[in-house]
Copies of this chain bind each other. A is one copy, B any other.
Amino acid sequence: MSKKFAKTPEPPYYAVLFTAQRSEGDHGYGAMAEKMHQMALAAPGCLGAESAYDAGGFGFTLSYWKDEDAIQTWKADADHLGAQRLGKARWYEHYTIRVARVERAYSGPEGR
């Protein structure tokens, strides 16, 4: 099993679904994305995060959170706000953010 999978607890918990089309070029994205990923994982109430982008720069970052308060606190983090500004200005052609309550979860195919 890849370490890319988030090890989340039993539901319920929350998920932030970030779907994005990256702009062309790095423009500092790689370093900042890694920094934000690590900071999010260390943020209060963060249960894990997963991310993958295809060769065309379309992809997802899914992060998992204990509750809505944890999401709001991370959204308002000063360093994260700076990254959000750069994301809007430079890194993303388009994105959609969905906040969802995870109600059930299961893994495979080991359990088949």
* Residues of chain A at interface, number, CB under 8 A: 43
Report if A17-B19 is in contact (Cβ < 8 Å); known contacts: A5-B96, A98-B105, A109-B95: no
Partner of A97, one of B6, B88, B99, B106: B106
Using an 8 Å CB-CB cutoff, how does the interface string of A1-34 with B read, 1 for contact, 0 for none? 1101110100100010101010000000000000
Secondary structure of the A contact surface, majority rule:
strand
Contact A21 B4 (CB under 8 A): yes
Chain A interface residues toward B at CB < 8 A = 1-2, 4-6, 8, 11, 15, 17, 19, 21, 50, 52-55, 58-60, 62, 87-89, 92-110, 112
Closest 4 pairs (CB-CB, A-B): A100-B100, A88-B109, A52-B59, A98-B105
